Structure 1
Amino acid sequence: MYLSLFPTLPMPTRRIFLKTAAAGLSLVPTCVAVAGNLSSDTNPKKPGHIKLSCNLYSFNEPLTTGQMTLEQVLKFCADLGFDAVDPTAYYFPNYPTLPADSYVYDIKRKAFQLGLDISGTGVRNDFTLSDPTQRKAQIDLVKNWIGFAARFGAPNLRVFSGKALTAGQNREEVTNRVASALRECTEYGAQYGVMLALQNHADFIETADHVLQILKMVNSEWLAVNLDIGSFRIGDPYAQIAQLAPYAATWQIKENLYVDGREVETDLNKIVRIVRDSGYRGYLPIETLGKGDPRVKVPDFLEKVRKALAVAG
């Protein structure tokens, strides 16, 4: 009876509703405190198989200054023992213009020969724009790079909501614009077998509730979350990460995060436990930021993540 009232809810949301309805509660996303407690199944979730990927923003400076080529970064990641890489679209020549297929396939071949999967890719976009013509251009941009992702072998394309809300803007109106644009793009992505992964980025999206609201409005199996653990600047990030973990298609694991707006070192054991408890299976991309040589920082952080995974079992 309850499900007939909400026939269009995505499956994770439907499971939450069943549990809360049985307890006489309303469906409120913020009531989700621990990832992995979302299923009506009484049996505990088995730990999912986790593979480590490198988000190539970690190498942003050497890639954008010409100190390293994309091919050299792939080789470096392979030598470290990563399972996959996640190269953002702007590391391909002439972005936002699409690269030649020959170049895309060459990089794809080299990654394969190095034993690297492509865990995903990403694009810069802004769906909060009020001008319909400008917003359509952003939708077309995402659609173009969905086609690229399909040719490249990337199972998901990371996308953004857009710029932070400014004075005088109405959040409901802007949310409707973002959801409408994402709905059109996810329908397009489904035709190519490419999921969209919406990234929380301390911009228009500030909280887990903001993400869940958009997911529910779009209501597509082809839209999930790119869970950026370092981009919650309000309140307790661990609670919000746990809240979104069941909806994650991919992640960005970072060295630091923000507790009540204050930057602190990430408790990797706590993060890995959230990942495990959510039953997540798939790639766990890491991303290092800030000053320092990524050829030193990435191996150091990778080792810390590996240790946390080993502790969690």
Structure 2
Amino acid sequence: MQADRRHFLKLMSGLAIGATGIGCLGSKAAAASGASPVFFEISLAQWSLHKALFAKQMDNLDFAAKARKDFGIGIVEYVNQFFKDKANDTAYLNEMLKRCKDNDVKNHLIMIDGEGELGNLNEAERIKAVENHYRWVDAAKYLGCATIRVNAAGKGSAEEVAKAAADGLSRLGEYGSKVGINVIVENHGGYSSNGAWLSGVMKQVNKPNVGTLPDFGNFCIKRDPANWRTCQESYDRYQGTAELMPFAKGVSAKSNNFDEAGNEKETDYMKILKIVKDSGFKGIVGIEYEGDVLSEDEGIRKTKALLEKVRTALS
């Protein structure tokens, strides 16, 4: 099994090089990202366009071009839901790489959902979930990404799930380390939205390629079953971000609504990005617009403008 996967990955890597030269990593966007004096680059998370994607108003293959042409963004973050049956499809992945190269776009990460609970208390189920993620590690490597984003979910007490999640993440991190892919966990509901809990899991894992993806707006621990938009128990987003930043290999700039001055109504971007900067972080901050008032395109533009304004003020 492992030998087959290594053979597949080697074969895919060769095909990717033949298709794109060096699989988007040699693009001007990538070079600019490495040379920039600012403390973070801006990427676009595909979830910002989830309404258009689910409605079939746009296709996953159009994402790189839209990021560049409509928003002037040269780094992208994919969501596996929008090409969930294509992780091992070399022809499809080559087309993604071609679109990326044609638009001078760098692939940064893939957000993974629906592949099982890495914190499942049942060892067999947990290992199955870990192995389900292998193909996405391989796909991320093929696409020139640095990272996959996963979830530390499980059912049980906080201590039980923490122990199980640390095991699942360690196993997946070990696989990722063999091909140079980071495995990062987002605060994504339940225990993971407790900054102290998730930072504790990171300390248990203690692997250089396993880290966090702090999301400014995902600190709801418990939602109302009758209305998921209503949060019944939340964690302080500034405290949580500060706790997760020592392990961060990316940051997700969640946005929903804006005031007349262009500031996000729920998150003080100046305050939270100062926490990001003070942590010593230098990397990529992804736009993840989720609002309902503005269109997806306008919400992305508003978030980008706000990030640029605050970045300039803090630089």
* TM-score, length basis structure 1: 0.76
Q: Distance in 1 between matches of 2:210 and 2:57?
A: 35
Partner SS, residue 54 of structure 1: strand
The match for 1:214 is 201
Q: Deviations over 1:235-284 (max 9, x none)?
A: 43112212222221011101259xxxxx9521111122122212211111
**2:108 is equivalent to residue 108 of structure 1:** no
Kept in 1: contact 2:153–2:161 (CA 8 A): no
Matches of 2:243 and 2:191 in 1, distance apart?
18
Note closer, same or farther for the CA distance 1:242–1:204 as it changes in structure 2 (3 Å cut).
closer
- Aligned AA for 1:119? H
* Partner amino acid, structure 2, of 1:136: I
Q: Secondary structure at the match of 1:221?
A: coil
Match of 1:88 among 68, 75, 79: 79
CA distance in 2, matches of 1:203, 1:247: 19
Task: Pick the aligned partner of 2:299 from 288, 297, 302.
Answer: 297
Per the normalisation by structure 2, the TM-score is: 0.76
| Structure 2 match to 1:308 | 310
The aligned amino acid for 2:284 is Y
- Which SS does the other structure have where 1:305 is aligned? helix
Q: Specify the alignment match of 2:68 in structure 1.
A: 78
Q: Which residue number in structure 2 is paired with residue 253 of structure 1?
A: 253
Code of the aligned partner of 2:97: K
Partner-residue secondary structure (3-state), 1:153:
coil
1:226 match: 213
**Aligned with 2:132 (options 127, 136, 141):** 141
Counterparts of 2:165 and 2:131 in 1: how far apart (Å)? 14
Once residues 210 and 150 of structure 1 are traced to their aligned partners in structure 2, the CA distance between those partners, rounded to angstroms, is 29
Alignment RMSD: 2.0
Taking structure 1 as reference, are residues 264 and 207 closer, same or farther at Cα in structure 2, changes over 3 Å only?
farther
CA distance in 2, matches of 1:274, 1:176: 28
Query: Identity percentage over the alignment?
Result: 22
2:227 is the counterpart of 1:236: no
Aligned residue-pair number? 256
Residues 265-305 of structure 1, C-alpha deviations (whole Å, 9 max, x = no match)? 21111122122212211111010003242122111221111
Asked if the contact 2:118–2:153 (Cα under 8 Å) also holds between the matched residues in 1, the reply is yes
**Larger deviation, residues 130-139 vs 293-302:** 130-139
Q: 1-side partners of 2:267 and 2:163: how far apart?
A: 33
Gaps (5+ residues) in structure 2? Answer: 1-36, 221-233, 258-263
Q: Structure 1: give runs of 5+ residues left out of the alignment.
A: 1-46, 258-262
Residue of structure 2 equivalent to 1:265? 266
String of CA shifts for 1:76-115, please: whole Å, max 9, x gaps. 21022213000111211xx256241121122122112212
- 2:53 aligns with one of 45, 59, 63: 63
C-alpha change, 1:137 and 1:96, in structure 2 (3 Å) is farther
Q: Specify whether residues 105 and 49 from structure 1 end up closer, same or farther in structure 2 by C-alpha distance, changes over 3 A only.
A: farther
SS of alignment partner, residue 119 of structure 1: strand
Question: Partner residue of 1:12?
Answer: none
1:48–1:115: structure 2 CA closer, same or farther, 3 Å change rule?
same
CA distance in 1, matches of 2:125, 2:38: 41
- Which one is further off, 124-133 or 212-221? 124-133
Higher-RCO chain (CA-CA 8 Å, sequence separation at least 6): 1
- The reply to whether residue 118 of structure 1 matches residue 118 of structure 2 is no
Deviations 1:202-260 (A, max 9, x none): 22313111111111111100101111111123343112212222221011101259xxx
Asked if the contact 1:224/1:248 (under 8 Å) is kept, the reply is yes
User: What amino acid maps onto 1:303 in structure 2?
Assistant: A
